[in-house]
Amino acid sequence: MSLRTAFSSPDTKRRYVRRLFTTIADRYDLITCLLSFGRDRRWKARLIALARPARGEAVLDLACGTGDLAFAMAGRVRRVVGLDITPRMVDLASAKPGQVEFLVGDMGALPLGDRMFDLVTTGYGFRNVPVLESALGEAHRVLRPGGRLVSLDFDRPRSWLLRTVYLAYLTVVGSCLGVLLHGDPDTYRYIPASIRRYPGAHGVADRMRAIGFREVEVYPVLGGLMAIHRAVK
């Protein structure tokens, strides 16, 4: 399946994302560092600060990748579960030392019961789901009343000029990295392609409110090129 057809339906996006992240899993940490100029850890530290994980709480980290957010919270709370749709990501995360439970699963249909968690987090997760409202609804379902949802992701700048420059940068750099690491320029061109179809931080916030979240806040990161959402059930 080509990048051109990846967004033609929820099912094609789901299949494309699964294949893509299987391909990049072993280089995921490297790419995240390169594309963020090494700032990814700082952004995730801010997410954790806004999430305010507390002892006695149960945390679910969606689209956990190789587990960096999950492990960062493991020593602060009672329980951490990391979930990712890509088995290879879960294998890599599970091989690391730390008190985190990992499982393979779909953010849009979580294999978990209602009201199990006090906190749900995700880094770069909601932009990749086939149906955003389904994933937000599932996060809301597994949270206890008063629980928090905190998410970090790329934003879609409202300014046409800034958006054009931003997407051009991601396209050029992504193409070069795709060729160097995988022999395929489309590998990381998925990122700007997904941003073009993303509702942006404020659009995501509106959808959170429609699902039933309250106290929804948007925190700009990197001058608005990225954003953190925080919401309460």
Whole-number pLDDT of residue 185: 85
Whole-number pLDDT of residue 105: 96
Give pLDDT tens digits along the chain (233 positions): 778 788 889 999 999 999 999 999 998 988 888 888 788 999 999 999 999 999 999 999 999 999 999 999 998 999 999 999 999 999 999 999 889 999 999 999 999 999 999 999 999 999 999 999 999 999 999 999 999 999 999 998 888 888 899 999 899 988 888 888 888 888 888 999 999 999 999 999 999 999 999 999 999 999 889 999 999 99
CB 130 within 8 A of CB 11: yes
Whole-number pLDDT of residue 147: 98
Query: What's 3-32+39-154+200-232's CATH class?
Result: alpha beta
Strands 226-232 vs 117-123: parallel, antiparallel or unpaired:
unpaired
Cα-Cα-Cα-Cα dihedral sign, residues 102, 9, 187, 129: negative
For the chain, counts of helices (H) and of strands (E) = 9, 7
Classify burial at 29, counting beta carbons within 10 Å of its beta carbon; exposed 0-12, middle 13-18, buried 19 or more.
middle
Whole-number pLDDT of residue 223: 87
Whole-number pLDDT of residue 2: 76
